[in-house]
Amino acid sequence: MAENSIKIRAKLQEDVTTVKALMTHPMETGSRKDKDGQLIPAHYIQEITCESGGKTLLTAFWSGGVSKNPYLSFKFKGGKAGDMLKLSWMDNKGESASEEVEIS
């Protein structure tokens, strides 16, 4: 996938870190047809992981039912300002992307 396919922010407020991520991906289900009536092959993010401080914070398993350029937001406790957070995804075609951000 193209570089910068993930835009991510992690903001600490009191003891809770809010993570917001926007991923650029076509997310094709495999059941849509093109203008010639041919099926567009399935192409979607299958697995997302988020890690910080050597711990896995989130693992999500998606299918073709998620919209194009998906947005993900979640919160967790225990993050500290300055810690690094890494979000990664892999799709059904073996393509992947990851991005790191400092918790602020």
Q: Which pTM does this prediction carry?
A: 0.90
Residues 3-17 have pLDDT tens digits of 678 999 999 999 999
Residues 49-87 have pLDDT tens digits of 999 999 999 999 999 889 999 999 999 999 999 999 999
Overall average pLDDT of the 41-49 stretch: 97
Helix, strand, coil share (%) of the chain residues, nearest 5: 0, 55, 45
Q: How far apart are CA 38 and CA 60, in angstroms?
A: 30
Domain range 6-102, CATH class: mainly beta
